[in-house]
Structure 1
Amino acid sequence: MTAFADLTSPQLAEVLAGPRKPVLLLPVGAVEPHGPHAPLGTDEIISAGMCARAATRLADDPDVRVLVLPALNYGVTRFGAAFPGAVSVSEPTLHALVVDVCGSLTAQGFLRIVVVNNHFEPAHVETLRRATAEAGVAYLDLVRRRNAARLTDEFRSGACHAGRYETSLVLADHPALVDTPTMATLPPVPVNLLSAMAEGKDDFVAMGMARAYCGTPAAATAAEGRSTFDVLTDLLVEAVREVVR
C-alpha cells in the first residue's frame, strides 16, 4: 500500500517508528486546457503516474518507505484563460498550500518530502521553488537543464503543451481520457513556448496556440508514454535517494 491517505493513523505511526526512512511524494498539477483532445487534468495525471511508479519501484527497498500524498490539483495557470476549463489559483494561494501542507507533515516527523510537478507555467514553477525552499522540502525541477536533457526531443524543444510528449504520457496511463480520433487530425503547431514567453506573450492565443496545444499530438503513442515514464521515474527515484542521504 503506497497511498498515504489509504492508511490509518496507527499505520502511519508505525511507518514513522519503523526501520525504513519514510519519504512522501506530493504530486502537483493544474486544471487547464490541453488541446481539443487531452484532459484538463493532464499535468496531475503525469505527476501522479510518476509517483505511483516510483513508489512501486521502491516498494521492497530495505531502507526507504515511499508513500504518495493526495495530489494538489490546482495551480497558477493563466495562459489558458481564454479557453473553458482553466482554473487558476494565485501565487500566494499556491505558496501557502504547499508550505502549510508540508509544514503540517514535517511537524509530525515526516521530514522527507519530494514535490513532483508537471505544470510548467513560469509563475507556477517559481512559486513552487520558493514554497519548497521555505518549507525545507525537495522539489523535482524537471525544467532544469540537467533533467530536461534526459527527456524527449519535443520536451526539450519547448513545443510540448498537449503535444506528443504529454499526450503520450496520458495514453500510457489513462488512454480513455484522450480523444484519439480528434488527436489523429491535429496538425503540428511548432510554437516554442520559451521563445514566445521571452517575447512577452502571456497567453496561448497570443502565442499562436489557437486550440490550446503545440507540438505534434497526432504522433503520440502509449509506447512512447511508457518509455518517458521510465525516465521520469528514474529521475524521481534519484530524488528520493538524495533526500535520504
Structure 2
Amino acid sequence: MSQSRLTELTWREVRRAGEDGIALLPIGSQEQHAAHLPMGTDTLLVEAVVDRALALLDRETPAPEVVRLPALPFGHSPHHLFAAAVSLSAQTLGAVLDDVLDSLVTSGFRRIMVVNGHGGNDEIMRLAVKRLALRAEVTAAACSYWTLSDGDHETGPEAEVAPGHAGWFETSLMLAAHPGLVRTPVPARTPVEPPPLFDHPPHPGLTVERHGEWERVDGSTDDASGADPDRGGRLLDGRARGLARAMHAFDRATRSSPRTEEKK
C-alpha cells in the first residue's frame, strides 16, 4: 500500500509506515469567509488539494509511501475575529505543531511534510518545521498549497488575486470542490477607498497592517461575484499536480539521508 490514513492504521502499521513513509499533515482554519463561503473554507480546500495530489501519486509506479493525517482544522486567525473565527494564538499554534510533529518522530517517522491552507499559518508552520529539524533526526518540508502549480502560466483573474481571501480565487475553487457550500448568488464586493494596505502595500517588499482593515473591506480581498467553477477546477487540478510533483521531489531527495549512508 503506497498511501494510507493514520486514523485507519494500527500502531504496528504506523511503525512500519514510519520506516520509509512520509507523514503528511494538512492544516487549515475556521474563520469568516465573507457572506458566501463557509468558515471551514481553508480546511476544505487544503484537503481537496491534498486528496487530489495523493490520487495522482497513487497512479504512478513506484509511488511514494504516504501516511495522511487528519487535517488540523484550527489556525491563527485573530484578524478575522471581528466577524467570527476559532483562532489559536501564534504561540499556541506553534506549540500544537511542535507536539504533533514530535509525536510523529516518536512514532517512528523520519520524513514529514506539512501542507497549509491558510495564510495566517504560513510563517508559524515554517518556523515549526525549522525547529523540528534542529531538535530531531528528521527531514521536514512545508508549503502552502496555493504556492504550487503544474508550471502552466496562469493569466487573468487567477494571476492577479491568488490566493486572496473569500475572493475570486477561493470562491472559484470552492465552486469546483464543494459547490453546495457556496451561498449564491455571490454578491459583488463594494470597492473601498483607500484600498487596504495588507493587500496593496505602498511599496514592493513591505508587509503593512492597518488596524480595522479587514472589517472595513467586509472580510474579503477582492470581488468574488465572477467566480468560475470551471476555472476553479483547473486551478485545483494545477495545485494538486504541483503538490504531487513536490512530494515526488521530496521523496527522491530524502529516501536515504547522509547519516544513513555513512552507517552503511
| TM-score, normalised by the number of residues in structure 2 | 0.77
Q: In structure 2, list runs of 5 or more residues that go unmatched.
A: 134-139, 254-264
Q: Report what 1:209 is aligned to.
A: 217
Q: In structure 1, list runs of 5 or more residues that go unmatched.
A: none
Return the alpha-carbon distance in structure 2 between the equivalents of residues 152 and 7 of structure 1. Answer: 43
- Across the two proteins, how many residue pairs are aligned to each other? 235
Q: Deviations over 1:48-70 (max 9, x none)?
A: 11111111111244241122211
Q: Is the 8 A contact 2:18 2:110 kept in 1?
A: no
Q: Report what 2:209 is aligned to.
A: 200
CA RMSD of aligned residues (A): 2.9
Decide whether aligned partners of structure 1 residues 149 and 35 sit closer, same or farther in structure 2, where only a CA change above 3 A counts. farther
Decide whether aligned partners of structure 1 residues 46 and 227 sit closer, same or farther in structure 2, where only a CA change above 3 A counts. same
Q: Once the 2 structures are TM-superposed, how far is the Cα of residue 225 of structure 1 from its aligned partner?
A: 1.8
Return the alpha-carbon distance in structure 2 between the equivalents of residues 155 and 148 of structure 1. Answer: 14
Q: Which of 162, 169, 177 is residue 165 of structure 1 equivalent to?
A: 169
Decide whether aligned partners of structure 1 residues 128 and 102 sit closer, same or farther in structure 2, where only a CA change above 3 A counts. same
Q: Once the 2 structures are TM-superposed, how far is the Cα of residue 189 of structure 1 from its aligned partner?
A: 4.5
Residue type of the partner of 1:139?
A
Q: How does 1:29-48 map to 2 (within 5 A)?
A: 29-48=28-47
Q: Is the 8 A contact 1:102 1:135 kept in 2?
A: yes
Q: Report what 1:126 is aligned to.
A: 123
Greater radius of gyration (CA): 2
Among all aligned residue pairs of Structure 1 and Structure 2, give the percentage whose two residues are the same amino acid: 29
Is structure 2 residue 108 aligned with structure 1 residue 109? yes
Partner SS, residue 23 of structure 2: strand
Q: Report what 2:178 is aligned to.
A: 174
Decide whether aligned partners of structure 1 residues 57 and 219 sit closer, same or farther in structure 2, where only a CA change above 3 A counts. same
Residue type of the partner of 1:201?
R
Decide whether aligned partners of structure 1 residues 172 and 144 sit closer, same or farther in structure 2, where only a CA change above 3 A counts. closer
Q: Is the 8 A contact 1:149 1:156 kept in 2?
A: no
Q: Once the 2 structures are TM-superposed, how far is the Cα of residue 35 of structure 1 from its aligned partner?
A: 0.7
Q: How does 1:23-34 map to 2 (within 5 A)?
A: 23-34=22-33
Q: Report what 1:62 is aligned to.
A: 62
